[in-house]
Amino acid sequence: MQDGTVTSPRGYRAAGIHCGLKVSQPDLALVVSDLPATAAGTFTTNKMRSAPVILSESRLASGRAQAVLVNSGNSNACTGAQGDADARAMTAAAAAALGMPEDMVVVASTGVIGRPLPVERITAGIPSLVAALGSDGMAAAHAIMTTDAFPKTAAVQVDLGDGVVTIGGIAKGAGMIHPNMATMIAIMTTDAPVEAAPLRAALRNAVGRSFNCISVDGDTSTSDSVFLLANGAAGVAPIAEGGPRYGAFLAGLTDVAGRLARLIVKDGEGTTRVVEVAVRGAASDADARRAAGAVMTSPLVKTAFHGGELNWGRISAALGRSGAEVAPDRVAIAIGDVWVVRRGVGIPAAYPEAEAGVRAPEVRVTIDLGLGEGAFTGWTCDLSETYVKINSGYLS
């Protein structure tokens, strides 16, 4: 099974409704486990953290949660003490309607920054939201969207040898996306039984190879959050850290997170091309990440990809300013499998074939720095006039 959502694992229900934060689109989502679950989260590294981020991180210190409440249309960020109170009020209303302790509810908000949250519309909507809970996760996937063009879902089944567990997820995000942080909202669920500590380790590992490897525009949100609930409903033996069962679970989780992450890049605001940037031969993995990051966020590189132009000089220039160790006469660059630069210098005979590669809807760039064993692979998108249009009229 490759398709599915947060309700694909056993013992989860979800819902999404319109409560009035947006004009008419769905704007309030809930994911609930039938049983109390172990839980983990990763949150934005932005120092301007939203009220829901601060509240949810603090609650997840217990390693337990049973419900995730998300609104779109307003991020409840840069909203001061009122924002803190509003985030708590949201979880209190959901906990009351669900009949569970308030501290088992975590929360995320996404949308415009710096405007007071009309929290009464959310609390008024919660009874309808709870009434709508069911086995279809698509309404929740829709209700967490902001500028997203399509809902993002993924699920996978993992055979542990002694039984099969399922991992599912939904995500949103199309702008303010940058690597090395959890820069969007994702909710993942599993019916695997995993204690809090190994669950946290697995989430950190999976996020590091998925959501932290993508960039749309280099901007990091104040709000973004990844949640993972594990309720054990699959009825297999607990998964401890290490060993083949944990490895299989981690691979499945990374698969779901990676697919959700790449869907976010594909839906990047104004995206017409998805670009994979694989750096190898770096002096260290950190250097490889720095080099890839500079290429993935360069407006000049991204506009060249938009135009379908083989302007590898802009890639070289981005590498040169990345902060990574770079020896100009050792750099090699390939588009797909075609090497267009070796020892830092272009190979004109290779250009025609590579030019076809950069005009494809999915472009693969490999950069070999020729220095060491460091490697990193990330995903970005082109920069189009449409991105500018979307973001120059966001408030109106």
Residue 284 tokens, joined: 């260290």
Tell me: does residue 320 bind a copy of itself (CB under 8 A): yes
The whole-angstrom separation of Cα 38 and Cα 62 is 9
Stretch that binds a copy of itself, among 148-156, 205-213, 225-233, 293-301 (CB under 8 A): 293-301
Location of structure tokens 């040169």: 320
Tell me: does residue 391 bind a copy of itself (CB under 8 A): yes
Nearer to a copy of itself, 248 or 350 (CB): 350
Location of structure tokens 């990330």: 378
Residue of 38, 42, 146, 183 with catalytic role? 183
Tell me: does residue 286 bind a copy of itself (CB under 8 A): no
**Of the candidates 62, 68, 46, the residue with the CA atom closest to the CA atom of residue 185:** 68
The whole-angstrom separation of Cα 346 and Cα 332 is 9
The site string for a copy of itself over 221-260 (x = CB under 8 A, - otherwise) reads xx--------------------------------------
The whole-angstrom separation of Cα 205 and Cα 208 is 5
Residue 183 annotated in active site: yes
Kindly list the strands in the beta sheet with 274-282, ordered across the sheet, starting from the edge strand earlier in the chain. Answer: 345-346, 338-342, 332-335, 362-368, 274-282, 374-381
Tell me: does residue 307 bind a copy of itself (CB under 8 A): yes
Tell me: does residue 298 bind a copy of itself (CB under 8 A): yes
Interface size with a copy of itself, residues (CB under 8 A): 66
**Of the candidates 194, 176, 187, 160, the residue with the CA atom closest to the CA atom of residue 391:** 176
Q: How far is the CB of 114 from a copy of itself (least distance, A)?
A: 4
- On whether the CB atoms of residues 295 and 315 are closer than 8 A, the answer is yes
CA atoms lying within 13 Å on the CB side of residue 206: 32
Tell me: does residue 84 bind a copy of itself (CB under 8 A): no
Residue ranges binding a copy of itself (CB under 8 A): 45-49, 75, 77-80, 112-115, 175-176, 178, 181, 217-222, 297-300, 303-304, 306-307, 309-314, 316-321, 326, 328-329, 331, 341, 343-346, 383-385, 387-396
> Which amino acids are annotated catalytic?
183
